[in-house]
Chains A and B, each alone.
Chain A
Amino acid sequence: MKIHDLIVIGGGPAGLAAAVSARRAGVQDILILERDHVLGGILNQCIHNGFGLHTFKEELTGPEYAARFIAQVKEENIPYRLGATVISISKEKLVTYVSREEGLVQVQAKALILAMGCRERPRGALNIPGSRPAGIFSAGTAQRLMNIEGYQVGKEVVILGSGDIGLIMARRMTLEGAKVKVVAELMPYSGGLKRNIVQCLDDFGIPLKLSHTVVEIHGKERLTGVTLARVDENRRPIAGTEEYYACDTLLLSVGLLPENELTRALDVTMSRVTNGPEVDDRLQTDCEGVFACGNVLHVHDLVDYVSEEAALAGKNAAAYVLSQPAAGRTVDITADNGVRYTVPQKLDPEHMADAVTVRFRVADVYRDRYICVYCNGERIRRIKKRVLAPGEMEQVILKKSELKEPLQSIRICTEVE
């Protein structure tokens, strides 16, 4: 059996950036395993612009952003396998994958980087009553059918959920001649980025109905329409508010789920909020030598942050392979009062880097609040925020020099005054 210093599972934005970073930190023997027939992951179908403003200081489309990282992987001569689907990983870092060329293969890694990304929440998870006609797609599936395979997908469209992919597809389908009638969002606020609401909906006069959901699906062979209804504060449909929309296509943009089926076999602590593994400040899971980054860890809204996080995972995996760095006691980072979770969830105060970026999301739309950091019960940071929204990831950078010794606890929360 072949032994590799580092195996990266997934050749999307996270896996590519992690592999490049590990190579530049000195790891010679790296293997990237990718199940698709091209590198780049979801970026290949994200043909819209808006990628790379942080990383490259210019606005790129998804395929262009991916191509920059693919070029780096090739420059660094990092080996990768395409059409290679990993079917299991073990605590001992034994990786089993299948591919058409090689059949069933087992490879042993000294370190592993999990970069499997996420997938869309499907219709089955929504409990929408009605029959099961053709014409109901997750927004990302429609995006793939349209942008990669060149299908028209539909002519009259209703979109449920105001996630970014749904908003992007509202514009995309409109430009391709479809009539997007309405975007319905269950929550009282949008789940997408503000600029997507403006540039994808407002530009084309597409209405966004907040606090609305689909209560009935009509049609037998092909979708013929949906019924929308307003929901109350408990997200229950309000009788008498039903409205019928004739349409042949319903797109679902109702959330993304980190794809952690492989991770479960490692028996590591999983976060119930992110649905990803819990990690320390090196982005290492409970299983020593197994690191995680990108959307498998927690769902991001900007690929630039995925690349940045993945580069850190790559660097730390390299340190693990090359020098087995010392590890010490960890302290939990607690999230509360409006902060839903943090990544990382814990840090090692003795061995941490001089600055550690902690990313998180808030639970609701808040105006004029403070993001506060408490260390051993004492407030060490208070950052004024005019607005905070669940759809926009936030971050604070913890500096080693400002943390009290001995460190007992870190708490990140929002405060009104």
Chain B
Amino acid sequence: MRELTCIGCPLGCSLRVFEEDGNLRVEGNTCPRGETYAKNEVLCPKRTVTSTVAIRGGAVSRLSVRTQTDIPKDKIAACMEEIKRVCVHAPAAIGDVILPDVAGTGVALIATKNVPKA
């Protein structure tokens, strides 16, 4: 059994997820969104990772980045390790691909800020 707090709306239902004969049963939700959320969280929780990478030759020294879509939660640490090693050169524009496949997820790491050359 796993306990979760639903983030579908401000209500924040306390959810309990039970595994029974290979099926998931959700308790404590007050709407269908709670059930969907709980099942996703148990089967394959995903998050968008945002951070910064070093940038040289720009007006600022950090370039903000994010994963293009959400990635499995258990890949977050590996993703951060790769982000730490990156250094790019200005200019950079929103949407620029910084890493094509971060931590073997098949998801790209993209720039979220426009940094012109200094």
Residues of A within 8 A of B (CB): 44, 47-49, 59-61, 63-64, 67, 146-150, 175-176, 193-195, 197-199, 202-203, 386-387, 389, 392
Contact = CB atoms under 8 A, between A and B. Distances in A.
A226 to B, nearest CB: 27
A386 B113 contact: no
Interface range on chain B (Cβ under 8 Å from partner)? 20 to 34
A301 to B, nearest CB: 10
B114 A67 contact: yes
A149 B12 CA distance: 35
Given A61-B112, A194-B5, A198-B5, 8 more contacts: A47-B50, A48-B50, A61-B64, A147-B52, A147-B64, A175-B51, A193-B10, A199-B47
26 contacts: A44-B113, A47-B50, A47-B112, A47-B113, A49-B48, A49-B50, A49-B66, A59-B48, A60-B112, A61-B64, A63-B64, A63-B114, A64-B113, A67-B94, A147-B62, A147-B64, A149-B61, A176-B80, A194-B10, A197-B5, A198-B4, A199-B7, A203-B47, A203-B73, A386-B11, A389-B10
A146 B73 CA distance: 23
A175 to B, nearest CB: 5
Contacts, number: 70
B114 A175 contact: no
A147 B11 CA distance: 31
A64 B48 CA distance: 15
A146 B60 CA distance: 12
A275 B9 CA distance: 28
Contacts of A61: 50, 64, 66, 112
B5 A202 contact: yes
A239 to B, nearest CB: 33
B90 interface: no
A149 B73 contact: no
B7 A149 contact: no
A229 B36 CA distance: 39
Given A198-B7, A389-B10, A392-B10, A150 B48 contact: no
Contacts of B94: 63-64, 67
A389 B7 CA distance: 14
Contacts of B11: 386-387
B26 interface: no
A120 B63 CA distance: 25
Nearest to B64: A47
Contacts of B73: 203
B98 interface: no
A197 B14 CA distance: 13
